[in-house]
Amino acid sequence: MSPVISIMQPVKIIKFWKPYGVLTQFTDPQGRPTLADFVTVKGVYAAGRLDFDSEGLLILTDSARLKTRLLNPEYHHPRTYLVQVERIPNEAALDKLRTGVDLNDGRTRPAQVELLETPPDLPERPVPIRFRKNVPDCWLKMTITEGRNRQVRRMTAAVGHPALRLVRWAVGPVTLEGLQPGEWRELTKPEADMLWASALGRKT
User: Which sign does the torsion angle of CA 41, 42, 44, 46 carry?
Assistant: positive
Nearest residue to 172 (alpha-carbon basis) of 109, 78, 81 = 78
Instruction: Please state, in angstroms and rounded to a whole number, the distance separating the CA atoms of residues 77 and 196.
Output: 11
First-to-last C-alpha distance (Å) of the chain: 45
Q: Catalytic: 51? A: yes
User: Which sign does the torsion angle of CA 124, 129, 135, 139 carry?
Assistant: negative
Per annotation, catalytic residue among 51, 53, 102, 137: 51
Beta-carbon contacts of residue 184 (< 8 Å; ≥ 6 apart)? 14, 15, 16, 17, 38, 39, 60
User: Which sign does the torsion angle of CA 46, 202, 195, 178 carry?
Assistant: positive
By annotation, the residues acting in catalysis are 51
